[in-house]
């Protein structure tokens, strides 16, 4: 059975307006590509009239135009910076031009190369050893350990920006959180560490920790107020009990448990149908363009609240019929234990029905975990999490991370602390093109 969102898409015809908007966006993106005009001339032996044989031919209009989208391989270059030096006739005074700006002193690699390495690993999940092979193919042999040093250098330089993203997430009224394991090298073997995500709609922060304890949520969100959208994991209790953020439950997690119980208890299909009714209300609000508005809240009060009543009755009826340790019994107990948190969305239209956004934010981590297997140590995990924060926030705001890193790797070191937000992906402005 397909996931609930996919199931709804199959049952609901595609919105023509949305489809047209997507096509228009693709056309605009292609039209904005750099353009190179290639002239195709008629060969000399064919420059005569096929009817009368005359060679007095004249152009007809501008010619037929055909568009071909081609891939032009990226290139690397060795830049030679020559600093002018001037001496006075007096023989004592001398002035010299400034040299190239560097990410760190004596680094012979430019910010564009560091940006490429970071983006390839964090956005495209390409391990450094595979990047080294690709660089060698284009004539830039760089040792994998050197790439690792460049990656960690970028993480250190950009750490203030990643920390500021986390600070702004802490200030949000609604925070979504989730965590996933990652392997850490430890004396010839690996142990388990964790990458956590704390996010809003446009800001996505990651944190690394050596364990899954509630210490990380406490360190990140302690003392803040608002809502926290999470699953039932007790590690988040540190910031929701006895006072703190108000916990909001995730219906996608509930549905997943009932889906897992289907093979042994077909009656779980009844609960999945009821959960689907909750999502139909959300899709109706989205299609009507009223998400988060009073009309959305009214739809929830009228329809979702009634569905919650039916779900509560279904759980109460089915609970005595299934052993607590059976798959369906565990799913029922999970939903009942989270009932208050699961129902909070009805009273506030700003609260999502599920925490899928956080799970989506961790997909890049999961793919990276599959490709590069482990991080070298805890500090490397923290650096990786910080760079993930910047890459994910770039994607959430429609910013090309490679262009972004190339610019801010130099600017962040001289940016006043009071203006640091100007360099975050949601507020960053691309530098003006150099016309000199």
Residue ranges with strand state E in 93-150:
94-96
Check residue 265 and give its pLDDT: 93
pTM of the full structure: 0.85
Residue 9 φ then ψ, to 5°:
-65, -35
Nearest to 159 by CA among 330, 412, 393, 352: 412
Check residue 408 and give its pLDDT: 97
For residues 131 and 117, the answer to whether their CB atoms sit within 8 Å is yes
Q: Where in the chain are the domains? A: 84-249+356-436, 250-354
Check residue 6 and give its pLDDT: 58
Q: Is 196 exposed, middle or buried (0-12, 13-18, 19+ CB in 10 A)?
A: buried
* The pairing of beta strand 204-209 with beta strand 189-199: antiparallel
List Cα–Cα distances, 369 to 147, 289, 384, 395, in angstroms. 18, 38, 12, 20
| CA 117/CA 134 separation, integer angstroms | 11
Reading the block at residue 87, the tokens are: 């001496």
Q: Compute the chain's Rg from CA coordinates.
A: 29
Check residue 3 and give its pLDDT: 58
Neighbours of 256 (CB within 10 A): 17
Check residue 276 and give its pLDDT: 96
Check residue 55 and give its pLDDT: 86
Structure-token match 């299609």, residue found = 287
Check residue 12 and give its pLDDT: 52
Q: Which H or E element spans position 182?
A: strand 174-186
29-84 pLDDT tens trace: 788 888 888 888 888 888 888 888 888 888 888 788 888 877 777 778 888 999 98
Reading the block at residue 259, the tokens are: 């889906």
Residues in the chain predicted with pLDDT less than 50, given as ranges, are 436
First to last CA, the chain: 59
């Amino acid at each position: 059975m397909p996931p609930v969102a996919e199931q709804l898409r199959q049952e609901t015809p595609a919105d023509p307006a949305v489809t047209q908007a997507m096509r228009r966006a693709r056309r605009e993106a292609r039209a904005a590509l750099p353009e190179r005009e290639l002239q195709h001339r008629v060969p000399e032996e064919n420059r005569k009239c096929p009817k009368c044989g005359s060679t007095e031919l004249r152009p007809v209009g501008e010619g037929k135009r055909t568009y071909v989208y081609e891939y032009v391989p990226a290139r690397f270059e060795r830049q030679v910076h020559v600093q002018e030096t001037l001496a006075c006739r007096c023989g004592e005074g001398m002035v010299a031009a400034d040299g190239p700006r560097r990410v760190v002193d004596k680094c012979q690699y430019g910010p564009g190369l560091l940006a490429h390495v970071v983006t390839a690993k964090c956005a495209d999940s390409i391990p450094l050893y595979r990047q080294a092979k690709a660089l060698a193919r284009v004539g830039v042999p760089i040792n994998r350990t050197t790439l690792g040093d460049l990656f960690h250098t970028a993480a250190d330089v950009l750490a203030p920006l990643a920390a500021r993203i986390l600070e702004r997430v802490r200030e949000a009224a609604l925070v979504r959180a989730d965590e996933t394991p990652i392997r850490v090298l430890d004396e010839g073997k690996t142990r388990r560490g964790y990458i956590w995500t704390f996010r809003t709609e446009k800001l996505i922060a990651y944190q690394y920790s050596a364990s899954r304890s509630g210490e990380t949520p406490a360190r990140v969100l302690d003392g803040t107020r608002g809502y926290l959208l999470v699953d039932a994991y007790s590690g988040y209790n540190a910031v929701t009990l006895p006072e703190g953020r108000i916990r909001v439950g995730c219906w996608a997690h509930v549905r997943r448990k009932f889906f897992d119980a289907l093979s042994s208890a077909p009656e779980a299909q009844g609960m999945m149908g009821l959960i689907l009714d909750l999502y139909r209300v959300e899709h109706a609000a989205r299609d009507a363009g009223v998400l988060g508005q009073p009309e959305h809240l009214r739809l929830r009060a009228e329809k979702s609240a009634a569905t919650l009543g039916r779900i509560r009755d279904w759980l109460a009826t089915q609970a005595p019929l299934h052993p607590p340790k059976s798959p369906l019994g565990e799913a029922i107990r999970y939903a009942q234990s989270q009932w208050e948190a699961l129902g909070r969305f009805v009273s506030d239209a700003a609260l999502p029905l599920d925490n899928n956004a956080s799970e989506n934010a961790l997909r890049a981590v999961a793919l990276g975990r599959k490709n590069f297997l482990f991080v070298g140590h805890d500090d490397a995990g923290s650096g990786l999490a910080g760079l993930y924060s910047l890459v994910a926030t770039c994607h959430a705001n429609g910013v090309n991370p490679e262009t972004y890193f190339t610019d801010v790797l130099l600017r962040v070191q001289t940016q006043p602390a009071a203006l640091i937000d100007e360099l975050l992906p949601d507020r960053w402005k691309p530098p003006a093109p150099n016309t000199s």
